[in-house]
Structure 1
Amino acid sequence: MGNNKVEKTHYKEIAQQIINEIGTSENLISAAYCATRLRLVIKSNEKVNKEAIENIDGVKGVFFASGQIQVIFGTVVVNKVYEEFAQLTGQGEVSKEELKQVASANDNKFKKIIKTLGDVFVPIIPAIVAGGLMMGLTESINFCVNNGYLAIDTSASWYVFLAMFSNAAYIFLPILIGFSSAKVFGGNQFLGAVIAMIMLHPDLQNAWTVASEGVLRNQSVWFGLYEIPMVAYQGHVIPIVIAVYIMSFIENKLHKIVPEMIDLFVTPLVTIFITGYLTLTLVGPVFVFLENSLLTGVQQIVQLPFGIGGFVIGGIYATTVVTGIHKKRNGRTHCRRR
């Protein structure tokens, strides 16, 4: 029993030292713990003495991540320290997910945007990786066959299917993005997928044919106010994310005002029609125009002399990949001469 009291006092001292070094409990927003770490969300990082926390007995490491201070203790110890920490600060138990939400709410707008994009695209990565690896394998086989290194029948079903499977995720990438975006924005994921399907509808001209064929058909919208080209959104990313954000907003608003008895029928119908019309007539054209303007700027940067253009483009290439702009070359941008 005596040993237990000693341990309890020891953990209480550790907890109190942490409180002192984070700028007292007044600088604390929320706290939680996982298997090995005490996770703290605070108001101001400037008040935290990271070095002093690292020197506290039992602490095995301290780092900042995802808007949190994470103090590593190891298993068992972290539970005991958290119990004392919660009592001293008056913090109720919070889950890791709730703590992440609190931490993200403390971020600036730029960090929130980056986090949102990460939440949208990270779940899609396995599909992209699988497709990319199959594409690499297909190209490698093509190279070996064309140069006589391998004698493989490329008309065989396994090869034909491999080539077909390799680009499936890229052809229908907007649908994956729509589905994932709806989850992030709190909308119905299947409605999010439908919005993406509308943007890829076969009644719209395939975007990749615009370079060789030009825009084949325009459509008058908003009671004849202006016309839009009836071109799909292959290769676009940001317009789909924005469209699904709008869809989720409309859907959630309708759920609050539409009577429950007809909500199942009215809300999806109105959500899809309004979002689809706004997307094809406003969201899509505006953001594709912005993408094309950015593309024009990038092309001008590339032409800068003395390798300056290449240096700058190398620095921003990751951003162009995220937005899908890296694919829009050789006249492939389809937006949108009026």
Structure 2
Amino acid sequence: MSTNREAARQIVEAVGGKDNIAAATHCVTRLRFALKDEGKVDSEKLENIDLVKGSFSTNGQFQVVIGQGTVDKVYKELVEETGVGEASKEDVKKASEGNLNPLQRAIKTLADIFIPILPAIVTAGLLMGINNVLTGPGIFFEQSVVEAYPQWADLANIINLIANTAFVFLPGLIGWSAATRFGGSPLLGIVLGLMLVHPDLLNAWGWGAAQQEGEIPTWNLFGLDVQKVGYQGQVLPVLAAAWVLSKIEIGLRKKIPDAFQLLLVAPIALLVTGFLAFIAIGPITFTIGNAVTGVFVGLFDALPAIGGLLYGALYAPLVVTGMHHTFLPVDLQLISNTGGTFLWPILVMSNLAQGSAALAMMFILKDEKLKGLSFTSAVSASLGITEPAMFGVNLRYRFPFFAAMIGASIAGMFITINRVIAPSIGVGGLPGFLSIVPDKWAPFFIGMAIAIVIPFIITFVFGKLRKVEK
């Protein structure tokens, strides 16, 4: 019997047998199960399987970390072993939704919307970081690079244009993803999002100044004055509008005969949603978004040390529950309203701290498999992917997880006191400094050092005192 086939058989037994598997699929590194009863999982048996590098449950799915390249081979053997048909990720998502409570469903909805557009946002953040290096004074010289070498100015301008595109047209990206998630047409979602940032509208970033001067343009709709305002960089308006658009579209498709759907469904859905977006949805959600931003800014302005300490300590537990996805819209809203987010830099501290704790375990553990897992998961965490470190190593032994929380909280407090902000979202690890405003690089690097050194020392010392060997 091949190694992969034997591993598949053992995994099936460890997760409660084939009768406990509602659906199964895999991603680049993990098997993903929708289980009927996660209480039947034998975690100890699962961890003793040679090919398994860790396991965890999230968003109603039980995931088993195998590793890139091997996971697809094990999955094929698993399908043959269980007789379960090959399922798509969407099939497993639907099968696992029965395990979620209403709050988890809401969080999962946000995750389903924002995770697909995250690569575009992170890429934009990295490019904006390169632009910051070229245009920020005091990095290499007293002047900026483009001031010292004017021939680089146009290159920096093009990089900035490419980087800004994802943020300027963010409602278009969210409209596409949200409409897809809500069961509507992705194309109509894109059109809706772009409609909210149409160049004929007053740019959202100029709304405050225009309001003070009393120069906000309006439409007069049958005696009702509607502000002619765009929603550049905004999150809530397009989320709510995409939900309304999708529900209208679904309702129309059920009632309008197929022969007339092409002529009637999209025009009616877009027209009704467009009117609602500008008359009610946009103004209401814009106000809510500003209020949310105001709460966070007010708290962190009044109590920066406590805010940084608590968010740094709690971010990793939020990842465990999946609730960290709710803060990406807040980050984007902060960037849009204030020009930068003070939350995302703390995320970097948490990721580095979890990786550092996992790395310390490599020097403590004797088992070669666990030592290898500790090292590879630490590398992954240093590049912003912390799940292998948290679920594969730190939560298994508990004290490394708490050591990382301590380091992240101290680092978060330090960078918050020093007003470190990120005008964009980038890679949540070692390359994260590229997304930080250049004049805050020094405190950010110090924060990174704190997030790496403190968890490593605490984990190593505590591990040696406890004589952890396996």
Q: TM-score range by the shorter chain?
A: 0.7 to 0.9
Which residue matches 1:199? 196
What is the match of residue 240 of structure 2?
242
Q: TM-score, normalised by structure 2?
A: 0.56
Q: Unpaired runs of 5+ in structure 2?
A: 316-323, 340-470
Note the C-alpha offset of 1:125. Answer: 3.0
Deviation at 1:270, TM superposition (A): 0.3
* Larger relative helix fraction: 2
* Aligned equivalents of 2:25, 2:240: Cα separation in 1: 33
User: Which of 168, 172, 176 in structure 2 is aligned with 1:175?
Assistant: 172
- Residue 257 of structure 2: aligned partner: 259
What corresponds to 2:123 in structure 1? 130
Cα displacement string for residues 174-233 of structure 1 (whole angstroms, at most 9, x for unaligned residues): 112212222233322221111112211233321211222215245566x66x75533211
* Larger Rg, first or second structure (1 or 2): 1
Q: Which of structures 1 and 2 has the larger relative contact order (alpha carbons within 8 angstroms, sep 6+)?
A: 2
The answer as to 2:183 corresponding to 1:186 is yes
Name the residue aligned to 1:334.
none
Alignment partner of 1:322 is 2:329: yes
Does the aligned pair in 2 maintain the 1:154–1:160 contact within 8 Å?
A: no
1:158 aligned partner: 155
> Is 100-109 or 241-250 further displaced after alignment?
100-109
Q: For residue 124 of structure 1, report the CA deviation from its aligned partner.
A: 2.5
Pair 1:80–1:181, CA change in 2 (3 A): closer
Conserved? CA contact 1:119–1:184, under 8 Å: yes
Question: Residue 292 of structure 2 aligns with which residue?
Answer: 294
Label 1:181 to 1:45 Cα distance change in 2 as closer, same or farther (>3 A): same
Matches within 5 A, 1:80-99: 80=77, 82-86=79-83, 92-97=84-89, 98-99=91-92
The match for 2:39 is 46
CA distance, structure 2, for counterparts of residue 160 and residue 220 of structure 1: 39
Does the 8 A contact of 1:33 with 1:82 survive in 2? no
Residue 110 of structure 2: aligned partner? 117
Q: C-alpha separation between the residues in 2 aligned to 1:38 and 1:133? A: 30
Q: Which moved more, 1:201-210 or 1:242-251?
A: 201-210
State the shift of 1:235 in Å: 2.2
Distance 2:78 2:93 in 1: 20
- Give CA deviations for 1:92-116 in whole Å, capped at 9, x if unaligned: 4242432343124433333333333
CA contact (8 A) 1:32 1:82 kept: no
Secondary structure of the 1:128 match is helix
Question: Displacement, 1:245?
Answer: 1.9
Supply the distance in 2 between the matched residues of 1:113 and 1:277 (Cα, whole angstroms).
Answer: 26
How many Å apart are 1:288 and its aligned residue?
1.9
Select which of 52, 56, 64 maps to 1:64.
Answer: 56
Residues 95 and 282 of structure 1: is their aligned pair in 2 closer, same or farther, counting only changes over 3 Å? same
Stretches of structure 1 lacking an aligned partner (at least 5 in a row): 1-6, 87-91, 331-338
What do you get for the CA RMSD once the two structures are aligned?
A: 3.9
Task: Please give the alpha-carbon distance, in whole angstroms, between the structure 2 residues aligned to 1:17 and 1:157.
Answer: 56
Q: Partners of 1:265 and 1:26 in 2: how far apart?
A: 48
- Tell me how far 1:44 sits from its aligned partner: 2.9
Distance 1:198 1:145, change over 3 A: farther
Identity %: 30
Do the aligned partners of residues 155 and 270 (structure 1) sit closer, same or farther apart at CA in structure 2, a change above 3 Å counting? same
Specify whether residues 49 and 250 from structure 1 end up closer, same or farther in structure 2 by C-alpha distance, changes over 3 A only.
same
| 1:281 aligned residue | 279
- Structure 1 position 271, deviation (Å): 0.5
Question: Is the alpha carbon distance of 1:239 and 1:48 closer, same or farther for their aligned partners in structure 2, counting shifts above 3 Å?
Answer: same
Equivalent pair of 2:179/2:186 in contact (CA under 8 Å): yes
